[in-house]
Every structure is written in C-alpha cells, then in structure tokens.
Amino acid sequence: IAKLYPFQVFRHRIYVPILNFIDHIKDKSRKISTQKYIELEDLGISKKAGVRYESISYSKLKLLLLFSLKEGFSNFLDIGCGLGRPIIVAGEIGYSNLYGVDISSILTDACKMNIEKMGLKAELECSDIDNYDLPPGKLCIFLFNPFGKEKIENLIDKIKNRNQDTLILYHNPKHSNLFPNNFKFNEFNWSNFGLYEEKCFCYLIPAKLID
C-alpha cells in the first residue's frame, strides 16, 4: 500500500522534508551545515566515480555509532565523508580518533570547516579510496553506499589484510552480496511508518592472522 502514488507523494512532499528540516535545525544548533544533497557532477566529478552526497539522520547515526563504540571500536573512519556529519556525531559521543576520506576536495574542505566549528580534530584526506591507506587500530568504518561494486570489492580485500579487527557500518547496503555471510555481525532496520525502508548491515572482519 505504501508504494501507491498518494503515499509516495506524502513521502516526498511532506514526510522527508520534515525529517530534513529536523536535521537542518540540529545543524543550526551546532552552527554547521551538513543537511544537503550534492550530485557528483556539480563537483566536477563523473557520476561513474560514486553516488551523490546525502546525509543519514542524526538520530540513526547516534544509534549506530553507540553500538560500534560499545563493541570496543573507538577509531572511526567515514569513507565518502562529504560534509562531515558522521565524523561529528562520532566525536560528540566519544570516539578517540576520527578520520575521513572523500574524492572531492570541495567536500573535504567543507568537512574540515564543520569539524573545526565543533572544536573537534580529524585526519581528512582527499583521495580515491583505492589509493587511501586505512588507519591503524580497531577501526569502525561508515559507508553510506559511497560507490559501486568494483570499489567495494577492492575495499573488502584491503580490510581483510588489516592486522586488527574492522567493524563496517554499511548504510543503504546496495552491494551487501559482496560480503561473505560469516562477516555479518548485526543489522538495523527502519520502516519509516511503512513509507520506505532504511537498512544498515554491520560486518565484522577479523584481523588478518600473522604467519
């Protein structure tokens, strides 16, 4: 029923704008700006490189990141960090080390400004993920479906070679089939009153055994 035209009109014209407005107010209270939709083409980047920037809600982020923190992962990396909302929430709730990477220097510069306004420190890098060296330590990685199949596969291979455990929070997991089932650790689902579903799959990839 929720897929019928009247419900979808309600979703796009009323429900989603209300959610966006709530997070816009939360931005304003922090004196930052993260509630935007930004297409890659507007940044001078081919859409083949990934998908547009958009934000997950503050409330959902806090739930996911508190879960990761309780599992012992105090180092946080946002791949496709955009304007920095996940990094900021991670800093607010007590992560020790914050990292972000994005293919756009425009976004990493804006992310840096938002983070500095919050009085936080993070190591940011403008880079294609294939050329990025993952940070050390037990690491939580946040992915909001930032790119396609090939780069996800390359990222998984890179994570498998880490010497410490990695917890991946994969929101809007379009390529979840690329992760072996035994890596799946948890799952979060939101129905949004039946209008549409949001999911986040959590994968725990253990440290590579040293010979």
Q: What is the mean pLDDT of residues 148-161?
A: 95
Share of the chain above pLDDT 90, in %: 78
pLDDT at position 2: 57
Distance, CA of 29 to chain centre: 22
Taking the C-alpha atoms of residue 140 and residue 63, their distance in angstroms, rounded to an integer, is 14
Taking the C-alpha atoms of residue 106 and residue 209, their distance in angstroms, rounded to an integer, is 39
pLDDT at position 211: 53
Taking the C-alpha atoms of residue 15 and residue 37, their distance in angstroms, rounded to an integer, is 16
pLDDT at position 8: 81
Taking the C-alpha atoms of residue 74 and residue 34, their distance in angstroms, rounded to an integer, is 23
| Parallel/antiparallel/unpaired status of strands 198-205 and 184-190 | antiparallel
pTM of the predicted structure, to 2 decimals: 0.93
Task: Say which residues have a Cβ less than 8 Å from residue 101's Cβ, sequence separation at least 6.
Answer: 77, 78, 79, 80, 81, 108, 124, 125, 126, 127, 129, 132
Kindly report, residue by residue over 85-114, the tens digit of the pLDDT. 999 999 999 999 999 999 999 999 999 999
* pLDDT over 90 at 210, yes or no: no
Rounded to the nearest integer, the mean pLDDT of the chain is: 93
The pLDDT-based confidence of 75 (bands split at 50, 70, 90) is: very high
Q: What is the mean pLDDT of residues 53-57?
A: 91
Kindly report, residue by residue over 118-136, the tens digit of the pLDDT. 999 999 999 999 999 999 9
What is the three-class DSSP state of 84? coil
Q: What is the mean pLDDT of residues 66-76?
A: 97
Q: What is the mean pLDDT of residues 167-184?
A: 95
The pLDDT-based confidence of 47 (bands split at 50, 70, 90) is: confident
* pLDDT over 70 at 3, yes or no: no
Kindly report, residue by residue over 5-35, the tens digit of the pLDDT. 677 888 889 999 999 999 999 999 999 999 9
What dihedral do alpha carbons 145, 89, 60, 71 form, nearest 10°?
90
